[in-house]
A and B are shown apart, each in its own frame.
Chain A
């Protein structure tokens, strides 16, 4: 009985605690309430342009579908988590919350990024009276996972908003190839870790195979595929195992073209962009065993922008399986060097042997000549 009474008491305490904590666990304001108004494409407000100092009409519309796919929503961040000065909605007013909300401070959550941003040319712009906000580059409502993003997507969504790379890289040979295959911060943020992303490209449709499409065709999931491929189970696909991957794909009539790009890790150190510190030494990269492409990953994009990725031995870059990527000097095939050495040695030997015989037979030719004359 005592035991029963004790049990009831415990349940009572638990219920009280749950009741107390319930309001804290639930968002004060649901996103759907925000979208009731901000889902209207015609919702605008009159504002003043900060730079031009002119009156402008600012859209307050937020695309709910795009927001739903954003990295913040996927991680359960709600509207009022960022717009934290909205505590309640009063529908009696024309605007149910304060008209002028405080600016969102991204560094409240992204503390390290905020710290790293301080050591950047973009932060130093403030001394010139220009404030670079986080969302000037990253946007705000539609920030996507960038791990699986291509170089073009990464650059288009960030650096190329302001910078025209063709204005400042006259010194760079093969500019368009660099811009297409190397992310800006790989050179401009010298401290950032880098790796090569290998993605399967369909030359017919000019698109990358995403995870869904690929694994539907293969009839296995990512883990099953990699277990089949990584036979020694060391977590790295070496060139021989890579051959297995290619074979598995070919058996399903997928003729893979591995598209390789040199990208930066998703790291806050990527903010360390400073004037005069960009990597301009060609031989940092165009060198056998360059640390820039020591890490190679084969990646399959998921719909939400995240990736299924697997480490690959960098030796794979030197094989003909990765036919559409060649880093001059860096990923040269050792086999070609050996063949080249044989060709040169063959030529040198032919000359050397003939020359030796030519010298040794001089007396013979003299003798024959004297006899004939």
Chain B
């Protein structure tokens, strides 16, 4: 099944341009012996467009660097990864890269109108979120299918939708704003005073720093819940998720 995926992707890329995103399964004779479960994965869906993938990986590496340098800056007496001055300098540069990257994300999602995938349907959000939580906490372990099926227009499950909405529109902007204020304390002293002082700004930045560190850990773990542990990671490189892959239905890992 893997050998045909490139042909499928070519067709999918054409399909994506015309709005058709789900590819037909390959019925060629050489694939007749493929397993039933493999058929469940034979549809490739173009879920992650190139701008999203570029944004995602810049953001990911940026976050890792910001977290490492953040720990070095805050705990200089314990950690000795790099000199404090270099840590501050690197933290500042990477911070601005992540800010620029955020605007790439914002322009793409607002410009393409796809930002609606972040907006939960208020009529169903609670029910769907509870259902998703029950799945993660129970259904997954006994092999039940994921209640959410990933499509280009409905990429996130209800829990992801709420989490990413808060992260992308509240937490990340707050982290960026407080980071910029801390970068030029003297120059932005008026704004810092308006927010209640540098310690308030620093507290917001540090709490979000811990939150994002924990988030990264959980995010990476949840990304291993595809039909193979690396499936979602590969999808974020190629752009294609396997349709019919209700994530953990075939996971034996």
Contact = CB atoms under 8 A, between A and B. Distances in A.
Given A287-B77, A332-B74, A369-B250, A323 B200 contact: yes
Given A176-B186, A336-B203, A329 B214 contact: no
B203 A173 contact: no
B32 interface: no
B17 interface: no
B88 A173 contact: yes
Nearest to A280: B85
A216 interface: no
Contacts of A320: 199-200
A129 interface: no
Contacts of A3: none
A332 B78 CA distance: 14
A257 B197 contact: yes
A324 B189 CA distance: 9
B110 to A, nearest CB: 30
Nearest to B248: A365
Contacts of A343: 207, 210-211, 213-214
Contacts of A354: 136, 221
A332 B202 CA distance: 9
B36 interface: yes
Contact of B142 (A286, A326, A364): A364
B218 A325 contact: no
B166 to A, nearest CB: 15
Sorting the interface of chain B by its residue count into under 10, 10 to 19, 20 to 34 or 35 or more gives 35 or more
A347 B186 CA distance: 35
Given A287-B76, A328-B73, A344 B221 contact: no
B89 interface: yes
B84 interface: yes
A336 B206 contact: yes
B251 interface: yes
Interface string B189-205: 00011001111101100
B142 A350 contact: no
B217 interface: yes
A348 B77 CA distance: 24
A323 B218 contact: no
Interface in A335-373: 336, 339-340, 343-344, 346-348, 350-351, 354-355, 357-358, 361-362, 364-366, 368-369, 373
Grouping DSSP codes into helix (H, G, I), strand (E, B) and loop, the A interface class, with mixed when no group exceeds half, is helix
A368 B143 CA distance: 7
Interface string B141-173: 111000000000000000000000000000000
B210 A344 contact: yes
Nearest to A324: B197
A373 B89 CA distance: 57
B251 A176 contact: no
Interface string B232-247: 0000000000000000
B103 interface: no
B217 to A, nearest CB: 5
Contact of B185 (A171, A174, A283, A369): A174
A361 B141 contact: yes
A322 interface: yes
B184 to A, nearest CB: 7
A328 B75 CA distance: 10
Interface size class of chain A, counting residues whose CB lies under 8 Å from the partner chain:
35 or more
A1 interface: no
Contacts of A323: 196-200
Nearest to A282: B84
Contacts of B215: 347
A237 B217 CA distance: 42
Contacts of A336: 203, 206-207
B142 A361 contact: yes
Given A257-B197, A340-B207, A348 B217 contact: yes
The 10 closest A-B pairs by CB, nearest first: A347-B214, A323-B197, A176-B186, A340-B210, A365-B143, A361-B141, A368-B143, A343-B210, A282-B84, A324-B197
Interface of B: 36-37, 73-77, 83-85, 88-89, 92, 136, 140-143, 183-187, 192-193, 196-200, 202-203, 206-207, 209-211, 213-215, 217-218, 221, 250-253
23 contacts: A173-B92, A176-B185, A176-B186, A286-B76, A287-B76, A324-B192, A324-B197, A325-B198, A326-B202, A328-B88, A329-B76, A336-B206, A340-B209, A343-B207, A344-B213, A347-B215, A347-B218, A354-B221, A355-B221, A361-B141, A362-B252, A365-B142, A369-B143
Given A328-B88, A354-B221, A369-B143, 17 more contacts: A173-B85, A174-B183, A177-B184, A180-B186, A282-B76, A282-B85, A286-B84, A288-B77, A320-B199, A324-B192, A324-B193, A329-B76, A340-B210, A344-B214, A358-B141, A362-B252, A365-B252
